[in-house]
Amino acid sequence: SRSRLLDNSRHLLSQQLQDNVADELGKINTIAYKTAILEFGTSIGIHAGTYNIAQKATVNKLTRQNLFWIGKHFGKDVDDKLVPLLDKALSEGWTRAQAADSLKDLFKNMNRNKDYWKAFAENAMTRTRSIATVEAMELHGVAKAEIVAIMDDRTSPICQELHGRIIEVPKMISVKNQLLQLTTDGRSSDEVKSEIQSIVPFLKDADVQAMGALSSAELQEAFPSVGLPPYHWKCRTKIISWIDDFALEGEVDLDKPIDKNFAIKDLSEQEILNKLEGIRHDKYPNYSDKDWESDFGKHGMKDFGIDNRQDFVQKARDIYKNPDHIRCQTFKGQLQFTFYSETHQGYVVADTNGVIRGCYGHSKDAAISKALAGTNTKYYDIKGVQ
């Protein structure tokens, strides 16, 4: 009967699927939690302890949420897609062969490919790692955390902007508790989805411009979930403990009088140094395609005597990696760094993702000193950074 077919289909696509993946998903979440705890202990030089009952309870809650999401998703597909198909088959008098072919196609389309499930597992691991780290910080009295993105050509605008930010752990604990207190028993998938999204919503690229104009305290008020990545599908960003004793060396004189169009108003000295450290690890920064053509046309032959892209990009990289002076400023609300090199007779402007925005040559005597003098009232000096 129609009712029996629906019930069997719901079981096969939801409950049976949950049963089949429950153990594996539990193992994934357990590994993610234990790995995060180990990394936390190593980062602050302590033994973080053994995997205890409370931590197992957290992993079990997160696994149940993941399983609920999987099961309800496919159960809803049955109701949304199978019911209309059955109604059509009955009203039009399909043969068994016609119905079988249509059902086969329907179930095939309901299934997701391996890439989807791989990304689903990665997201589950990222969330579990974030919660494990917050729980370890809570247990050991860590007050602040740093957001650390993997900075490369895959880094999203959201993660570029959040990289290096120093945020408050108590606010992260509050969001973590809300997520772990969420229940799935007797609730529809739409209800649970809505609540999860209200607690830890995926962030949008459109949020980046607003974030750039906020202090870290304001950022956490406006976006409370910034302490619990993932921020988007396939997000690789993580949080680490921020201990003042481990602060990066360097100095940024943020009290220096600066033209209001270039002033940095909402980042601390350490957040600026964190962002700088993040991009300096990239030995092969890219040149922005948007800026490349005009820059090469203006400065390739004229400034450097270079007539091809490869050599021009290499010149920009040489300057970027071997600066005598580093300065920073904001441009259209976003942080940028300028790297000056006497040796390579030029300077490079790069953004917080290490993308080169401009490369300029100055080969005459004292040209770099003159270029520095020209930005004294526009840019901040960064000193003591190797």
Q: Which amino acid is at 20?
A: N
DSSP string over 324-370: SEEEEEEETTEEEEEEEETTTTEEEEEETT--EEEEEE--STTHHHH
Q: Residue 80 has what pLDDT? A: 61
CB 34 within 8 A of CB 51: yes
Q: Sort residue 48 into left (φ over 0), alpha (ψ -120 to 50) or beta.
A: alpha
Torsion of CA 173, 174, 176, 177, to 10 degrees: 110
Q: How far is CA 372 from CA 276, 328, 375, in A?
A: 19, 12, 5
Query: Helix-strand-coil percent breakdown of the chain, rounded to 5?
Result: 60, 10, 30
Contacts (Cβ under 8 Å, ≥6 apart) of 115: none
Global pTM value: 0.74
What six digits make up the tokens of 163? Answer: 């990289």
Q: Which amino acid is at 354?
A: G
Q: Residue 379 has what pLDDT? A: 93
What six digits make up the tokens of 26? Answer: 């539990």
Q: Is-cis flag, bond preceding 230, omega within 30?
A: yes
Q: Residue 7 has what pLDDT? A: 54
DSSP string over 275-330: HHHHHHT-SSPPBPHHHHHHHHHHHIIIII---SHHHHHHHHHHHHHS-SEEEEEE
List the beta bridge partners of residue 341.
346
Dihedral sign from CA coordinates of 219, 224, 228, 229: negative
Q: Residue 109 has what pLDDT? A: 61
Collapsing DSSP to helix, strand or coil, 50 comes out as coil
Angstrom distance (rounded) from CA 298 to CA 315:
15
Q: Which amino acid is at 327?
A: R
Q: Per DSSP, which regions of the chain are E strands?
A: 144-148, 166-168, 238-242, 251-252, 325-331, 334-341, 346-351, 356-361, 380-383
Q: What is the mean pLDDT of each successive set of 10 residues along the chain, which is 386 residues long?
A: 56 54 79 88 78 86 73 52 66 69 64 68 86 92 92 84 93 94 76 84 85 87 93 92 84 90 88 88 75 82 84 89 92 88 88 84 78 89 85
Reference 385, options 329, 318, 340, 355; nearest CA is 340
Q: Residue 244 has what pLDDT? A: 80
b or e along 316-339 (b: 16 or more beta carbons within 10 Å of the residue's beta carbon)? bbebbbebebbbbbbeeebbbbbb
